[in-house]
Structure 1
Amino acid sequence: MNMRSPQIASDTRTRILEAAVDRFGRDGFGASLRAIAADAGVSAAAVMKHFGSKESLHRECDAHVLAVISAYKTEAMKSADLGATLMTQMARMEEFQPLIRYTMRSFLAGGDVARNLLEDMRSRALTWMAEGVKAGHLKPSRNEELRVKLTFSISIGWMVQSVLAAEKDLGELDADFWARTFDEMLMPALELYAEGLFADRTLLEHYMLYRSDPPGESGAEETSA
């Protein structure tokens, strides 16, 4: 398992984080510190020494996952050849599977676990989206925060529905499942983002006009009459 960004050194703390991300993703957040310690090749006392508590370890896992994902997203958006970078990262998809499982486990858990991770992910996405606009890979948006929210809804919604349709526990889903899920998602997603959905701008122009001058109740009554 290799989930490190170029800036993250290989040390005991990182080994524990990677082991925890993998174990939480497979078994859920009820996984024991002893199991995580065994996966990392250290003692449970070493886990406590580095992180103090299971709750603190969980928070650090969130930060670790976000840092690695953001590093690769930023790398792609800053690259001179976005297509080549995307293909290289796709070829390494198996390395990202612990991160994907952990993220899906968080979202399926719901509550503060999902909410906090999602808010942090969207906040970081604003940064790498801006890098994409600056590099000329992406068009600027009228409202970047809302565009990020929509793109997350598409990608996360796809992943969640795929996991639920699999009728297996998240930890039982293998490399073939994740490769197939991403392959099925990428074609329609890239088609939508690169070529668009509507044949022209009619609906956008009507909506922007509506937003700037929405009909009042009297107008609505006259229309309905």
Structure 2
Amino acid sequence: MFNQQPLPQGPATDLTTAARIRDAAIEVFGDQGFQVGVRAIAKAAGVSPGLVNHHFGSKDGLRAACDERVIQLIHDEKIKAITAPSVAKGMLAALAEIEVYGPLVAYMVRSLQAGGPMAESLFEHMIADAEVYIQQGVDAGTIKPSRDPAARARYLLTLNLGATLLWVQLHSKPGEKLDFRKAIRELTEELTPPALEFYTQGLLTDPTLLDTVTKEH
């Protein structure tokens, strides 16, 4: 079930024991939810339960480390795509290997579905990070500037994560586990074309509407 494909890695592959536990936990949490015990995570990582607690202190500590790792991996891949000399080629390269993000998507979905302070913290950290990498796209000339970068980042994350949660909910069958590697491919193929039309061509023909609304607020 685990390690069918490795999680996407940053510039240097981190193979420490703590990293191995963390990456296994991302997959286990994504596959089974956050009610899963430390023993299942330890078994997936090939270590003792005591070693999990030694490195992370508690399951919440491990989850916080997983949050940080997921955000970093998303950040790295977004930066590569939106600051590439050819944004089209950068996006196509990311789309070609989209299945590798299945465990990350599963983890995010499980976290947001669970709700609570840690889910809210993950969401807020993802928004803050999105503002950073979107700004790097602006600086690279591949993304248009915004009147309110923070509000735009919040809207885009709410839109994208909300669409993902709804898609997963509608395609989940009682008693069956969703294959997130397959699901992320299907979701991407379904939503990417209309999303790109929306992002590149816009929607409304009246450009004065934004000025009118922002003046009223």
TM-score by length of 1: 0.88
Partner of 1:133: 138
Q: Residue 105 of structure 1 contacts residue 170 of structure 1 at CA under 8 Å; is this kept in 2? A: no
Structure 1: unaligned runs, 5 residues or longer: 212-225
Larger radius of gyration: 1
Partners of 2:138 and 2:175 lie apart in 1 by 35
2:102 and 2:182 in contact (8 A); partners too: no
Matching of residue 178 in structure 1 with residue 174 in structure 2: no
Percent identity over the alignment is 34
**Aligned AA for 1:70?**
H
Q: How many residue pairs were aligned?
A: 211
Q: Which residue among 180, 197, 210 is the counterpart of 1:204? A: 210
Measured after TM superposition, the shift of residue 169 of structure 1 is 6.4
Aligned to 1:218: none
Give the superposition deviation at 1:64.
0.9
Is the CA contact 1:101–1:171 (under 8 Å) kept in the aligned structure 2?
A: no
| Partners of 1:8 and 1:147 in 2: CA distance | 33
Cα separation, partners in 2 of 1:98 and 1:182, compared to 1, 3 Å: same
Check 1:49–1:170 CA distance in 2 against 1; reply closer, same or farther (3 A cut). Answer: farther
Q: Displaced runs of 4+ in structure 1, greater than 4 A? A: none
Q: 1:209 to 1:50 in 2, by over 3 A?
A: closer
Deviations 1:155-201 (A, max 9, x none): 11110111111233698111322211121111111110100001230
Partner deviation per Cα, 1:69-106 (whole Å, 9 max, x = no partner): 11111222222121111111112212111000000111
* Contact 1:25 1:171 (C-alpha < 8 Å) held by counterparts: no
Could you say which residue in structure 2 is the equivalent of 1:17? 22
- Deviation of residue 207 (structure 1)? 2.1
Q: RMSD of the TM alignment (CA)?
A: 1.7
1:51 Cα deviation from its structure 2 partner: 1.4
CA distance in 2, matches of 1:86, 1:169: 34
> Is contact 1:37–1:47 with CA below 8 Å preserved after alignment?
yes
- Aligned pair partner of 2:154 in 145, 149, 156: 149
How many angstroms apart in 1 are the aligned matches of 2:31 and 2:90?
29
Aligned residue among 1, 6, 23 for 1:2: 6
**2:97 maps to 1:87:** no
Determine the C-alpha separation between the residues in 2 that align with 1:11 and 1:18.
11
Q: Structure 2: how far apart are the matches of 1:171 and 1:2? A: 23
Q: Does 1:101 align with 2:106?
A: yes
Q: Residues of 2 paired with 1:169 and 1:177: CA distance?
A: 16
Q: C-alpha distance in 2, partners of 1:73/1:170?
A: 34
Aligned to 1:65, which of 60, 70, 90?
70
Q: Which consecutive unaligned segments of at least 5 residues does structure 2 have?
A: none
- The structural deviation recorded for 1:147 is 0.6
2:121 is matched by which residue type in structure 1?
Answer: N
Q: Which residue of 2 aligns with 1:221?
A: none
